[in-house]
Chains A and B, each alone.
With several copies, the nearest count.
Chain A
Amino acid sequence: MTQIADRSAPTSNTGLLELYTAMRRIRTFEERVGELFVRGESAGSMLHLSIGEESAAVGVSSAMKPGDTFTTHHRGHGIFLARGADPKRMMAEIAGKETGYCHGKGGSMHIADMGLGHLGANAIVGGGIPAVVGAALVARRKETGAVSVAFFGDGAMQQGILYESMNMAALWGLPAIFVCINNQWGMGTRIDQATRATALHERALAFGLSGETVDGLDVRNVQDAAARIVDGARAGTPGFLAVDCYRHFGHARKDKSPYRSEAEEDEGRARDPLAFARAALAEAGHAAPAVDAVDDAAAAEMDSTIDYAIGSNEPQIASMFRDVFAPGEPEPEPVQTRLDRVMATS
């Protein structure tokens, strides 16, 4: 867990400058991911950037403690960074390299780190949600005091497994939290094109959870709401939190969002949690240079992640058959080995 401490992740008491710093690191990291793709160094093009959603990651994370666990979705870089991830190893994983968190087997959509409580990103919309019910069950059984948080998008609100999961969490009074990062869009589908019921937290209430919707423009709102929901969950009332924000860019790297009007995008991007925090910091008397220094530090840190990823090795082809099952257990037989034996014996 020490990694979290080392990176002094924001807490419920953290001031705006630290929150801004955490958000900026995410924004800059995501920009570098885009660069990695443009340079043709990413493993594939299925890269989903969380630019515009930083307050959800940082705000909710601020209410979490070391030992808490979480699952994320296909747009989870920011959440993992907020929980203390090493951006170098993240970038390397996104490039499909040996030095990545999953040694190049997982990639952007399957990054995980048990040391930081990250039970895994997921490429299945809604796929990571029920795992937090299980993790919360274990936390209660072993009395660790931990909560488990599922992060997902508004699109996942239409996946049935969310309701099965919330219902079980409520039935058993588990320390589980369901966080919907409502960036208004699921690929090319606006939330009101996916459901008539856009007051998302009401669904959680109907299943017996506590629930709120919060505007993610001001990260401090998210910080406060998350504190309420997480405290409630630690006390045995699972909660749901919808964070309203905007997906500033396309769904994945190649998507130019032709299905959205420029006017909408301008308005949406104007609702920028970083710009808002910057303004608030200025108001609060923080000198611009101090804030610029934060940006520069983030830039320097994240620049290095690209060189690290590019400089890392591809996984060895021999690693392909490893980790299907635990070490020492019977492994799948490679097709070539089978053919060798078959032709040798005949």
Chain B
Amino acid sequence: METLTYRDALRRALSDAMREDPDVFVIGEEVGRYGGAYGVTKGLIDEFGPERLLDTPISEPGIVGTAVGAAMAGMRPVAELMYVDFIGMTMDQLCNQAAKIRYMFGGQIGVPMVLRTQGGTGRSAGAQHSQSLEAYIMHTPGLRLAMPATVGDAYHLLRHALRQPDPVVFIEHKALYAQSEDVDLSAAAPDWGKAAVRRAGSDLVIVTYSRQLHYALDAAETLSAEGIEAAVVDLRTLNPLDFDTLRPLVEAAGRAIVVSEGPMTAGVAAELAARISEECFDFLENPVLRVAGEDIPISVSTELETGSVPSAASIADAARRLMS
């Protein structure tokens, strides 16, 4: 057992992987000397050197494209995108190239790269530095998508991602970096692609991932004090999506809430609500409720920023409606 932050765990995953596999290297803006905009790669350059912590110019499309080529040529690049908000520049390389190469080329080659980035609100960073864009990725065939909510998963999911034969988009949450937990990283790693039931509860199921897991757990505590027992499921990976863990819980409770920080319309919450509604139809007492980000840009004003995404209060409020 040791106490680590989410940031430390990510760094540990990178260094363990780099020690184990000489083909793993990190490429991106400020990943080396600077140690990463959020300090995730801090100090790694001292052990692994500038060739394996490759600082790049500010050229996002080129960085992702370079990673695609390096992966095809036999190495395991971890391309870092400082903010997921910058993904718009790279979506051709990510979605037309990385995601489709194995398929277009008839299976002769894969693109085992990891695109590490971070998103979400919490720093009053404004409309272009606070987004939750995972839905773009979840919608794109050929990409895996991992979004750790806990310190343990920050480590284990990144280790798993670095063993995948296909491109993985790995999205961290900027508000979680400083969070710390007691973890035993030597313990057996939970499987890749399996959701975790973070809390048992028979009245309703709250399905979420990344930072919203913590709001969901807080809400569940509040609800419990009111006599409402909510199960809380952390999806961990959105592709693969583990519906098998979800199904029995929802069928038993008959009520579900899906929570995502991203904009509601055509987002991850829509997919989860549609999936539960179609697969658990006969078991639902009530509609699946979507608690998600508003369909608006994020303001720099802290008040507007906070108001535009779900909170423990808004999740609890939705649960109460569902139970009433």
Task: Enumerate chain A interface residues (CB-CB to B < 8 A).
Answer: 43-46, 69, 71, 96-97, 100-110, 112-114, 119-120, 122-139, 141-142, 148, 155-156, 158-161, 164-165, 167-168, 171, 186-189, 193-195, 259, 314-315, 317, 319-327, 329-330, 332-336, 338-339, 341-343, 345-346
A335/B292 contact (C-beta < 8 A), A127-B92, A127-B93 known: yes
B166 touches A329 (CB 8 A): yes
Q: How far is the CA of A168 from the CA of B62 in the complex (A)?
A: 8
A155/B287 contact (C-beta < 8 A), A44-B300, A104-B300, A112-B108 known: no
Tell me whether B286 is interfacial, beta carbon within 8 Å: yes
B107 touches A96 (CB 8 A): no
Taking the closest CB of chain A, its distance from the CB of B202, in whole angstroms, is 21
Q: Which residues of B contact A329 (CB under 8 A)?
A: 164-166
Tell me whether B299 is interfacial, beta carbon within 8 Å: yes
B123 touches A46 (CB 8 A): yes
Q: How far is the CA of A121 from the CA of B282 in the complex (A)?
A: 49
A106 touches B279 (CB 8 A): no
A343 touches B322 (CB 8 A): yes
Taking the closest CB of chain B, its distance from the CB of A2, in whole angstroms, is 17
Residue in contact with A112 in the complex, picked from B74, B109, B287, CB distance below 8 Å: B109
Taking the closest CB of chain B, its distance from the CB of A92, in whole angstroms, is 11
A127/B282 contact (C-beta < 8 A), A107-B300, A120-B104, A342-B287 known: no
Tell me whether B266 is interfacial, beta carbon within 8 Å: no
**How many residues on chain B are close to A (CB under 8 Å)?**
91
B294 touches A164 (CB 8 A): no
Q: Which residues of A contact B303 (CB under 8 A)?
A: 96, 314-315, 317
B57 touches A165 (CB 8 A): no
A142/B301 contact (C-beta < 8 A), A130-B65, A321-B294 known: no
Tell me whether B86 is interfacial, beta carbon within 8 Å: yes
Q: How far is the CA of A106 from the CA of B295 in the complex (A)?
A: 17
Residue in contact with B108 in the complex, picked from A102, A107, A341, CB distance below 8 Å: A102
Q: Which residues of B contact A125 (CB under 8 A)?
A: 58
List B residues 2-52 near A (Cβ within 8 Å): 25, 29-30, 33-34, 37, 51
Q: How far is the CA of A71 from the CA of B264 in the complex (A)?
A: 32
Residue in contact with B321 in the complex, picked from A112, A135, A171, A343, CB distance below 8 Å: A343
Taking the closest CB of chain A, its distance from the CB of B139, in whole angstroms, is 12
Q: Which residues of A contact B300 (CB under 8 A)?
A: 43-44, 96, 104-110
B304 touches A319 (CB 8 A): yes
Q: Which residues of B contact A195 (CB under 8 A)?
A: 57
29 A/B residue pairs, CB under 8 Å, sorted by A: A43-B300, A44-B124, A44-B125, A45-B123, A101-B106, A105-B106, A106-B299, A108-B300, A109-B300, A110-B127, A119-B72, A123-B85, A124-B96, A137-B66, A137-B70, A148-B69, A159-B59, A161-B61, A164-B63, A165-B66, A168-B66, A171-B57, A187-B37, A317-B303, A320-B294, A322-B107, A325-B142, A338-B264, A345-B282
Q: Which residues of A contact B29 (CB under 8 A)?
A: 187, 189
Q: How far is the CA of A333 from the CA of B286 in the complex (A)?
A: 21
Task: Enumerate chain B interface residues (CB-CB to A < 8 A).
Answer: 25, 29-30, 33-34, 37, 51, 54-59, 61-75, 77, 85-86, 89, 92-93, 96-97, 101-110, 123-129, 141-142, 144, 164-166, 193, 240, 264-265, 278-279, 281-282, 286-287, 289-292, 294-297, 299-304, 307-308, 310, 314, 318, 321-322, 324
Q: How far is the CA of A168 from the CA of B70 in the complex (A)?
A: 13
Q: How far is the CA of A279 from the CA of B278 in the complex (A)?
A: 72
**Given A127-B97, A131-B69, 8 other A-B contacts at CB below 8 A?**
A112-B108, A130-B66, A134-B73, A186-B58, A189-B34, A317-B307, A326-B166, A329-B166
A46 touches B279 (CB 8 A): no
Q: How far is the CA of A129 from the CA of B68 in the complex (A)?
A: 11
Residue in contact with B314 in the complex, picked from A69, A139, A148, A335, CB distance below 8 Å: A335
- Closest residue of chain A to B278 (Cβ to Cβ) is A342
Taking the closest CB of chain B, its distance from the CB of A182, in whole angstroms, is 14
Q: Which residues of A contact B296 (CB under 8 A)?
A: 320-321, 324, 332
B291 touches A335 (CB 8 A): yes
Q: Which residues of A contact B240 (CB under 8 A)?
A: 330
A320 touches B69 (CB 8 A): no
Most buried by B among A105, A132, A333, A341: A105
